[in-house]
């Protein structure tokens, strides 16, 4: 299939590489052109503009946030440059409000639109093992299904309304952050009583919380492996903000989301912008005046 892919951060580049490896004709674009080189070496073509990348049957995008999506797709005129019938698959974690706007703008131009945010870090994306949410008109989802399957281990259908995929992604990330914060606080508590984070989290992630999120992030906390960031703290703050925004829109109280927002702001105020979400363990340790290694 002839596919365009725009947005080649750590996630986008890994996802696009699996499309190339699956034999699709992929044209890539990124604001920083250097990011296209590794994909070109795999067999992709580099486009000088996003419009040139959008000349295929399907356009996929993995942009950073609402601002970037609006600038490229709406303000930049990309949707106007696409041929009617083209299907756009948006993998970005965006607000519910913007998801609605995009669905309307695509429909107005005769374009297909599938919201397909993903669960998984860059290493999972590189391995083609993402869990991919998918919401859009059945014909559009069916058309892009082979592409989604090339990038993920499972595609989770969520109906025709694109925003449904976005709210599941937002709510899922909210749960993920709460899991990391609970490990950070609990392991700091045990450290204060002489039980290392390594011993405590080894027990927890092999008994009560024997699941990938707890095991993966628990290991990062114990090893204090906060760089390179698979899920950077500024993006984490953005996603918690999206949860609060969505909750306010439907009058759904999210008390713990407010606590997480303030904790993340505290981390960023301490200069932790380049660190992974697992560095929330540092915030908990600083609050308790605990020095030294988590081990």
Residue 195's CATH number: 1.10.1040.10
How far apart are alpha carbons 276 and 112 in whole angstroms? 35
Specify whether the CB–CB gap between 147 and 60 falls below 8 A: yes
What's the structural domain count of the chain? 2
Boundary of a domain, candidates 103, 136, 161: 161
CB of 63 within 8 A of CB of 91?
A: no
131 and 198 housed in the same domain = no
Q: What is the pLDDT of residue 283?
A: 96
- One domain, residues 262 and 198: yes
Domain boundary among 161, 179, 214: 161
The model's pLDDT over 224-283, given as tens digits with 9 standing for 90+, comes to 999 999 999 999 999 999 999 999 999 999 999 999 999 999 999 999 999 999 999 999
* Residue 169 appears among annotated catalytic residues: yes
Which tens digits make up the pLDDT trace of 38-52? 999 999 999 999 999
Q: What are phi and psi of 248, to 5 degrees?
A: -60, -40
In a domain, 63, yes or no: yes
Q: Are residues 222 and 173 in the same domain?
A: yes
Q: What is the C-alpha separation between 273 and 291, in angstroms, rounded?
A: 21
Cα–chain-centroid distance for residue 250? 23
Domain that holds residue 178: 167-287
Options 143, 169, 219, 227, the catalytic residue: 169
| 141 and 12 inside one domain | yes
How sure is the predictor about 34, in pLDDT bands with cuts at 50, 70 and 90?
A: very high
- Does the bond joining 228 to the residue before it have cis omega, within 30 degrees of 0? yes
- Of 161, 176, 204, the residue that ends a domain is 161
106 and 237 co-located in one domain = no
**Domain harbouring 51, CATH code:** 3.40.50.720
Residue 293 resides in a domain? no
């Amino acid at each position: 299939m002839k596919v365009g892919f725009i947005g080649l951060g750590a996630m986008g580049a890994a996802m696009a590489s699996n499309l190339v490896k699956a034999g699709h004709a992929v044209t890539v674009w990124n604001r920083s052109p250097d990011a296209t080189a590794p994909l070109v070496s795999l067999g992709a073509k580099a486009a000088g503009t996003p419009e040139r990348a959008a000349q295929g049957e399907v356009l996929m995008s993995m942009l950073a946030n609402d601002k970037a999506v609006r600038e490229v797709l709406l303000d930049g005129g990309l949707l106007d440059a696409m041929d009617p019938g083209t299907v756009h698959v948006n993998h970005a974690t965006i607000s519910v409000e913007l998801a609605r706007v995009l669905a309307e703008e695509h429909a107005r131009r005769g374009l297909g639109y599938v919201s397909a945010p993903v669960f998984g870090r860059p290493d999972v994306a590189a391995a083609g093992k993402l869990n991919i949410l998918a919401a859009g008109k059945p014909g559009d989802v069916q058309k892009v299904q082979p592409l989604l399957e090339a990038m993920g281990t499972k595609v989770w259908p969520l109906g025709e309304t694109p925003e449904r995929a976005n709210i599941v992604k937002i709510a899922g990330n909210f749960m993920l952050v709460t899991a990391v914060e609970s490990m950070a606080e609990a392991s700091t508590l045990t450290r204060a009583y002489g039980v290392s984070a390594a011993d405590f989290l080894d027990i927890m992630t092999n008994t009560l919380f024997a699941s990938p999120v707890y095991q993966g992030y628990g290991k990062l906390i114990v090893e204090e492996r906060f760089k390179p960031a698979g899920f950077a703290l500024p993006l984490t703050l953005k996603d918690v903000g999206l949860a609060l925004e969505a909750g306010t829109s439907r009058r759904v109280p999210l008390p713990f989301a407010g606590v997480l927002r303030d904790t993340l702001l505290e981390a960023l105020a301490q200069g932790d912008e380049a660190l992974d979400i697992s560095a929330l363990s540092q915030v908990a340790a600083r609050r308790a005046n605990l020095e030294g290694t988590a081990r």
